[in-house]
Every structure is written in structure tokens, then in C-alpha cells.
Amino acid sequence: MEIRQLQSDETPPMDLLLLADPSTRIVEGYLKRGQCFVAEGEGCIVAVHVLLPTRPDTIELVNVAVSERHQGKGVGKQVVRAAIEKAKQLGYATIEVGTGNSSTGQLALYQKCGFRIVGVDLDFFTRHYDEEIVENGIPCRDMIRLSQDL
Ligand code: COA
């Protein structure tokens, strides 16, 4: 599997990006402000993520998604680890990531990759998304913020 930055003349894989975030408007904002990376295997895109500079020395990992066919095989872990390495190479001091209170698998993945929970943005999803989101039988209301020193 090769992970590379998407070139400006390439079309972002919207279907995959929308797996991580149901809002086209929010995804398009991330693409405008951040760098989109794709992971390719056997000639097709299997995963995507975006690195978004937020504050001086801090970058946020957003829109991590692995195609449904390739989930549960370690691709997500490889992508998150590659994003951490890239952020280090770019000279950032901190990498952050956020996920929903109901995203139990994602919370496991990020903590296994070294992130620690640093805060909760109460009602983030209720405020920013029109449709109700439910995962694992849990209403997704709050954003769990995680961070890692590089
Ligand atoms: N439930 C429990 N644990 C899960 C999980 C789930 N649904 N999904 C991932 N994990 C954990 C596992 O514990 C695994 O650890 P292990 O290797 O020690 O067993 C670890 O995360 C990595 O799993 P991996 O196979 O690398 O994950 P993946 O390739 O399936 O990618 C996602 C994980 C979340 C990126 C992928 O499921 C996905 O694209 N989901 C839809 C989009 C999304 O939710 N993006 C994140 C937005 S915050």
C-alpha cells in the first residue's frame, strides 16, 4: 500500500471522504484548507485522510476513511500512523483528532495509535449537523478531542 498526497488536478474521492463525515459542506471546507492523502493498493484508492493546519505548530487529522471492503484489516492503523509521521516530518509539535462520543471503534483506533483524550466539545454534532447521527445504538452528540505530542 502506498500513501501519497492527492495532486491539485486530481478529483478527491468524495464517496470515501463522506464515509468519515456526512456533510459535503464540511468535507469541502477541509479539502480547501488541508492536504488530502490517499492510500492506494492494487491500483485503486483504499483509504483517505486530510491533514489540516489549525494553529501554529498544530495540525489536525480529519476525514480518515477506509473503503468498506478493506476495513478491519489494519489499513486504518497504517493510515493514522502515516499521518502522525507526516505531521512530524512537516515540523508540527502536536497532532489532534476528533471523533464522536458514539464512535467506539475510532476511539480505540486513535488511542492505540498514541492519542490521548484531552477534551469534550459538548453538543458539537447537535450544533453542526442537521441530521441525527446514531452509531452503535448511541446518539452522536459530543466531539471527543484527542491529541498527541510529536
Ligand atoms: N470496533 C472496535 N474496534 C475497532 C473498530 C470497530 N468498529 N474499527 C477499528 N477498531 C480498532 C481495532 O481495535 C483495531 O485494533 P487492533 O488492530 O489492535 O485490533 C484498530 O482500531 C485498527 O483497526 P484497522 O483494521 O486498522 O481499522 P480500519 O482499517 O477498519 O479503519 C476506520 C478504521 C474507522 C478508519 C474505518 O472503519 C472507517 O473508515 N470507518 C468509516 C469512516 C470513519 O468513521 N472514519 C473516522 C471518523 S473519526
Full pLDDT tens readout for the chain, 150 residues:
999 999 999 999 999 999 998 889 999 999 999 999 999 998 899 999 999 999 999 999 999 999 999 999 999 999 999 999 999 999 999 999 999 999 999 999 999 999 999 999 999 999 988 889 999 999 999 999 999 999
Ligand 1 pocket, residue 64 CB under 6 Å: yes
Ligand 1 pocket, residue 105 CB under 6 Å: yes
Domain range annotation of the chain: 2-149
Q: Which CATH class for the 2-149 domain?
A: alpha beta
0.85 exceeded by pTM:
yes
pLDDT of residue 130: 87
Backbone angles phi, psi at 138, to 5 degrees: -115, 130
Give the integer Cα–Cα distance in Å for 41 and 23: 27
Pocket test for ligand 1, best of 80, 95, 109 (most atoms within 8 A of CB): 109
What are the C-alpha distances in Å from 48 to residues 16, 28, 87, 131? 7, 14, 15, 24
pLDDT of residue 43: 86
On the 0-12 / 13-18 / 19+ scale of CB atoms within 10 A, 130 is exposed
Q: Amino acid letter at 59?
A: I
Conformation bin of residue 142: beta by default, left when phi > 0, alpha when psi is -120 to 50? beta
If you measure from the C-alpha of residue 119 to the centroid of ligand 1, how many angstroms do you get, rounded to a whole number? 21
